[in-house]
Structures are given as structure tokens and as C-alpha cells.
A and B are shown apart, each in its own frame.
Chain A
């Protein structure tokens, strides 16, 4: 058996097919090969168009539930459809789809009146990342509490692989996000102030707490490999009145860390040929 189509026809077919799939509805597609145009003209072609679009939009809605609850399903799905045409999934694990959705919302003109939306999207994304992060035990706070002061200063805490945090200087993103994520009441009682958030997965489920600017700076310093002395200095630098003991015990209790090492030892190890 032989084919009527020339070699390379399959790739040509696939190029044309995806072009027709994503073309806005009702617009004739002119830049596709005739064998594909004949398919796109059949009413049943809409099954593929609808399935692909629905699959992508459903995934974004599943991955960004707080954003969807804030703007309503209709608005969300209309915005998502625009995003899908700009950025199809690169990965068939649709849990990972939407990595740049927060950036899209930040420059999406109809969302300009909702300046908190990209921040809320970012926390939805952090939830997904925490949910799918590698399994790792949480650092036992007792292990840290037992350290002598000089050892403590040289200790490096390792951020848990599920831990994600951010500081939002312009809006109470944590409060807006957590209310919408947990389906809580949407009352107007919102104190408009800067907020930070820590999400992590100490056990099976993702958990979250509010943290302040000092907490974020502290975690940033730890993630960069800094000692506790350096992390404490970073926290005090952004927030002069930071209560370091309370901050650290809150982060440890939340499960923000998976382990620790000692800077002195590491330097010795690294100095070894």
C-alpha cells in the first residue's frame, strides 16, 4: 500500500491541524494545507477544538481556584481561554500547567482593576508546587533548641523542598488568598496592609501561615545557604523590631525546614582535596 501524500506529509498535517485547532472560532483559516482545511471545515472538527480548549481551561481552573473564586467562573474561563492561546501546556502533567499565569494576569488589561490578582495567582501556584514537591521529613524543632548559642549562629537551616514563601508589600495577598482558597467568608473587613505567606507540606497536606517581612528575609537567607547569624541579620535589616526567637519557632513549627548543617564543618569538608 502506498500513500498519496509526499514524505513529510505527517508533519505538515500536524502543523496545519494545530493551527486550525487554535484559530479563533468563526474565522476561516487560510494558512493551512488543503487536506487539513477540508477537515477543519467539517462540523465535527469542533469536537477537537472544544476538547483541547476545555482541557486546558479546566486545568487552569483546577490549578488557580482562589483566582477563579475571586473573579467568578465566567470571567476566569474567558481570561483563561486567552492565556491558553498564548501559552499551551508544555507538559502533559496538567498539574504543572499555568506556570506563567500570574505574569499573564499582571499584564492582562481587564484585570488592571484587580492589582492583587497576580499575587493571589502566585500563592495558588505555590500551593501546587508544595503539593507535588518531593517527600521529605521536617526538621525537629527540638534538634535546633538543643544547640549551644555559638553552634546555633553557625548553623544553616535547609528549606523544606515543599516550602514556598513570598512577601507582598502592596496588598494583603495572604488574607485574600487564604479566604478564597479555603472557601471562607468574603467579608469586607480587609485590613489593607503588606503581608507575607509561607506554604509548605509538613505531612500529607499543604499548610500555610502568614509571615512578616522579617520571616521572608530570614527564609531567603536560609535558602541562599546563609548561617542563622546571617539569616537573623537579614531579618533585622528589613524589620528592626523583629522578634527572632518567635520568628524561628514559628517557622520551625510550620515545617519550613527539612534539615540543618553546620557552616564550620562544611567549610572544613569543602577545604578537603
Chain B
């Protein structure tokens, strides 16, 4: 019987020893594969040591699937190589772009959701899935800008993308909250309409008000605990769609492992209800 992945944590070098030793059932760890695309050395050795004890998720930030270009073959080959080596439980990427004309912009950049963009992204997701020989999950990004040229609503766009490519979706509940607040729509309505069957993974993270614009602009900073509003959205989502592997995503202003693990336990408790019902 395979272990059911419940709640996981982003893996940080500072927490290596505690992460390695942590015995929790269903615990898994997520990393950005870009940080491990090296020929050898302690980074890979460290990841392999964690992998020997825990399931790993590779959460890419650089395939640039929404760029009007095929994924960089060198990057895709490296990703496939790392996936063969680590045998991750999950691989995910973003509905965004970052590399353009050979330059990497370390962010998840927006684009108008047009037919042209959908065709390009569907082709790119298919290329990635072919290279990786598996289904990947695509994450809804955080939004800050009012973009005029959208021909597609984001949920329809993601649903159609999943339909055309067979990909799954990674639903970041904090991104939904931040985007809904920034662009002025209902996070509840968004989550209620999201295609639950396609959701392979869920992200929970903290956000911060913009230093200049305050609460009028929430920034997806991953530097704070998950907000109470996001926990409430999450509980409602799980009650509707059932349990999904859920990540506590923390990249900055890092607390100790025990503090993060407490947040992880809170997500795990939410998942336990539908898991107990299904058992």
C-alpha cells in the first residue's frame, strides 16, 4: 500500500536535519528543482538523503510555460534528469512566464489569457509532460495588475488547459485570496467554481500588504504564517473537494522547523476529516 501524502513543507537548507529526522506519517517536502540542477556536490547529496526518507515534490518556477516560445530544451532535459534521479511524487509548474528570449526573470509574470496564449501554453505543457513522461500540475498565479486583454476567465482557461493536455492543477489558496483582494472579486466564488477533480496539490502560504500601497495591494511574499482568511477558504475547499496533498509554502523570514511543523499539523488536521471518511 502506498502512503497517502497529506500535508507537506517547503524544504529549506536550514531545516535539513530536522526535516530528515521528522517521522510524521504522510509528510512530504517540496523543492524548486532549479536549485538542484547541478552536476554533483552537497546539494544533490542532501536532497537524495531527504528523498530516502520522505516523498518529494518538484515545484518548478522556470519552465516559462506561458512564454510565446517552446520550453528551453536544456532546462527541460535537466528537469527530466533530476526527476529520474529523485523520483518525485509530484511535479508542478506555473501558469506564468519567466524566461524570455534567453533571459531569465526570477518572477512569475502575467499575460493576457487569449486563445493564442492558451494554444501556446497547451503545447508547452504537452511538451513538458512528454519530456517528463508524466502528468504535471499547473498552478494559478497571484495577480496584481488589471489586464485588459483577457479573453478567458482564469478558471475556464485552466479547465480548458487540463482538458487539452491532461495536466492536473495546483490550487494555491493564498494566491486566490491575494488575487481576489487585489483585483476585486470573490475568493469564495472562485474556489467554488474551481474544477476540484483536476486538483493534484494545494498550496497555502502567507502574504504581506505592499509597503507603499498597504492593504490595497497584497503581495504573495511567502514570508509570514498562513492568514486566518486563507485557512477558512482552505477548510471550505477541502470540505467540497476532499483531501489533497497540501503544502505550507514558506520562503522568507523563516521560522524554526517546529513552528512550520505546527502549521503543517493544522493542515493535516483539516485533511484528516475527509481521509477518515474515505477510509
Do A and B interact with each other, yes or no? yes
Interface digits, A36-58 against B, CB 8 Å rule (1 contact, 0 not)?
Answer: 00110011111110011001100
**What's the Cα separation between A55 and B103 when bound, in Å?**
13
Whether the Cβ atoms of B41 and A1 lie closer than 8 Å is no
Identify which of B2-10, B92-100, B238-246, B259-267 touches chain A. B92-100
- Give the interface centre of B37, B41, B98, B145 by most chain A CB atoms within 10 Å: B41
Instruction: Assess whether A1 is in contact with B115, with CB atoms less than 8 Å apart.
Output: yes
- Note all chain A residues with C-beta closer than 8 A to B61: 92
**A193 vs B164: C-alpha distance in the bound complex, in angstroms?**
66
B279 within 8 A of A: no
In the bound assembly, the distance between CA atoms of A94 and B120 in angstroms comes to: 26
What residue in chain A is nearest B182 (Cβ atoms)? A44
Would B103 and A48 count as touching, CB distance under 8 A?
no
The answer, among A11, A18, A44, for a CB contact under 8 Å with B145, is A44
B45 contact from A3, A55, A204, Cβ within 8 A: A204
For B35, the chain A residues whose CB sits under 8 A away are 93-95
A115 at the interface (CB under 8 A from B): no
Identify the interface centre among B67, B105, B117, B212: most chain A CB within 10 Å of its CB.
B105
A249 to B1, CA, bound (A): 55
Q: Which residues of B contact A46 (CB under 8 A)?
A: 212
Residues on B with beta carbons closer than 8 Å to the beta carbon of A39: 145, 147
Query: A1-B151, A38-B148 in contact; A132/B39 too (CB < 8 A)?
Result: yes
- Min CB distance, B96 to chain A, in Å? 11
**Does A5 contact B212, Cβ atoms closer than 8 Å?**
no
Of the candidates B34, B42, B144, B149, which one forms a contact with A48 in the assembled complex, judged by CB atoms under 8 Å apart? B144
**A5 x B217 contact (CB < 8 A):** no
Q: Which of the 9-residue segments B106-114, B129-137, B188-196 touches chain A?
A: B106-114
Among candidates A47, A51, A92, A132, residue contacting B75 with C-beta atoms closer than 8 Å = A92
Binding site for A on B (CB under 8 A): 34-35, 37-43, 45, 61-62, 67-68, 75, 78, 97-107, 109-112, 114-117, 120, 144-149, 151-152, 182, 210, 212-213, 217, 219
Query: What are 15 A-to-B residue pairs whose CB atoms are below 8 Å?
Result: A5-B114, A10-B117, A14-B109, A35-B149, A42-B146, A43-B213, A88-B105, A90-B104, A92-B98, A92-B106, A93-B35, A132-B39, A132-B40, A134-B39, A201-B41
Question: Which are the 9 A-B pairs with shortest beta-carbon distances?
Answer: A55-B106, A92-B62, A3-B114, A135-B40, A132-B38, A44-B144, A88-B103, A10-B68, A134-B39
Write the residues of chain A forming the contact surface with B, with a CB cutoff of 8 angstroms: 1-5, 7-11, 13-15, 17-18, 21, 35, 38-39, 42-48, 51-52, 55-56, 59, 88-95, 131-136, 161-162, 201, 204-205
